[in-house]
Structure 1
Amino acid sequence: MSVNIKLDINKLADDTISPVTKRISTTLISIWDLTFGQIDNFNEKYQLKKEKELKDYKTLLESEINKINPDNLVEPKLSIVGPALESSKFYYEEKELRSMFAKLVASAMDSSKISKVRTSFTHIIQQLDKVDALNLLSFQDKTRKPIARAETGYNSYKFINDNRYQYIFFSSHDIEPLSDAMSSSIDNLQRLGLIEVTFDRWYDNESIYDNYHDSSYIFSYTSGIPKQGNGYLPAEHGIIFLTTLGIQFIDVCL
């Protein structure tokens, strides 16, 4: 049976809607209007190309809520849905982040997920970008994966031995496994407490790391431009894994 949540005040006159569903719909409509009403009424939505994205976001939110088992439907805490909807108006043009906010709001109405919902998830989503989202999505099937790091030399500060490490991580065809974007994303996800990385442990089957040493494969993964050299990149083996918070975040928001 469908829950049939609609963010439309006209639908509330339908006598087939249950009292609980009607109450939840009224609450959501009120918060939605307070948050997005001005965007609907002023030229800002055209300047920022938000009209279509706003419609897509509303449709997505309705879809996520209507997936909830009717028996699990509960009125959400305003401390969750209020900040989530308020913050999402600055991010819903980004497809991956729009989806996270919609799933967060829906999870706050699902009694089977409420224990995993954290008020901090709104702030976490605000600090993610597309690369972060794609990296997190790669953990939907496995909570731990192989990772490596390679020493990269830099002389921008004119130190005699100015070397640093960059991560090598295969998560998406859209991201170079060895790149500044990848390394900064791994750093950011660690800072947010969603993942941990260790090089004190690694997979016993070292063949898992073969691609992490293949310079040609790493650098042609998306760009098609192989790195010059003998084709072997020295890299230290490690493991990247989700924290408990990361597992809960993925279950709630992804």
Structure 2
Amino acid sequence: MDLQTGLALIASVIGVADYFKDINPLYCKKRAEMEVYMNIFKEHLTKHLEDIPEENRQSPKNSIIWPAFESSIFYLEDEEYREMFAKLIASACDNRKNINSHHYFLNIIKQLDPKDAIILKSFCNENSKQAITNICVKSKIGEGMTILTNHFFVLNKNTSSNPDAYSSCITNLKRLGIIEVSYLSKLVVSENYDIYEQHPVYLELKSFADKNGIAEIYLEKGIVDLTPLGKDFLKVCIE
């Protein structure tokens, strides 16, 4: 399948809205919106294809681009999805990406939330290993501890974010095998955790606990890192 065939496939599905235009005028509006998204997708895909040097271009595998084109139809509204699908399809046409490509990447894209993709982008700008924490509470009366916030991850040093904002994203990325999280070790440079220790929500919880004197709030420090699969996914679909 070539680019034009794939785009024609998307256009044919969008054209289904014509069958419903007399039933519900909103379908016409939706079709117009989808045509705009498809044109943006086409522009992005064309750019990525043109960036491939002539000597590195190859005929893509149908087992990758057919499912990718078919699936992309349902994700064109979101910029993060458009970019990932465009890069996945373009990478199938680039022999430099053969060593990094994997059929599983299509399933990964379909199971990602746009926020997951934003987190993955942060690994493009930072070292592969990043700081992560759990916010924990320990009673001063009994033994044991409880995790108040699991996988507390601050993105792009944004201290205004809710500690729970990316917990589910980290859990999902871990489930997909893209990242691994460990609290058995921590980053050597302690300053990497300053953003967590100075986070307003953590400071508020710690202040409240200190005033009451019955519990201790502390951070369990850890590391989040890309797996080999995650590094390949970034090279193909994110970078």
Q: Which TM class, normalised by the smaller chain length?
A: 0.7 to 0.9
Q: Is the 8 A contact 1:171 1:177 kept in 2?
A: no
Q: Is the 8 A contact 2:135 2:147 kept in 1?
A: no
1:203 Cα deviation from its structure 2 partner: 1.6
Unaligned runs of 5+ in 2: 19-26, 139-144, 211-216
TM-score (norm 2): 0.80
Match of 1:146 among 128, 131, 140: 131
User: Which residue of structure 2 lines up, in the alignment, with residue 47 of structure 1?
Assistant: 30
Match of 1:230 among 190, 203, 207: 207
Unaligned runs of 5+ in 1: 1-25, 154-160, 220-225
- Letter of the 2:207 counterpart: N
Question: Taking structure 1 as reference, are residues 214 and 247 closer, same or farther at Cα in structure 2, changes over 3 Å only?
Answer: same
User: Which residue of structure 2 lines up, in the alignment, with residue 37 of structure 1?
Assistant: 12
More helix by share: 2
> Larger relative contact order (C-alpha < 8 A, sep ≥ 6)?
2
1:137 Cα deviation from its structure 2 partner: 0.3
Question: Could you say what the CA RMSD is over the residues aligned between the two structures, in angstroms?
Answer: 2.6
Question: Taking structure 1 as reference, are residues 138 and 165 closer, same or farther at Cα in structure 2, changes over 3 Å only?
Answer: same
Mean alpha-carbon deviation: is it higher for 165-174 or for 63-72?
165-174
- Aligned residues, how many? 214
Match of 1:239 among 223, 227, 238: 223
Rounded to whole Å, the distance in 2 between the matches of 1:167 and 1:34 is 41
Structure 2 counterpart SS, 1:252: helix
Any runs of at least 4 consecutive aligned residues in structure 1 with deviations exceeding 6 A, and if so which? none
1:174 Cα deviation from its structure 2 partner: 10
User: Which residue of structure 1 lines up, in the alignment, with residue 168 of structure 2?
Assistant: 184
- Percent identity, aligned pairs only, is 33
User: Which residue of structure 2 lines up, in the alignment, with residue 120 of structure 1?
Assistant: 104
Q: What aligned pairs does 1:56-205 form with structure 2 within 5 A after superposition?
A: 56-141=40-125, 142-151=127-136, 165-172=149-156, 173=158, 176=161, 178-179=163-164, 181-205=165-189
Mean alpha-carbon deviation: is it higher for 44-53 or for 134-143?
44-53
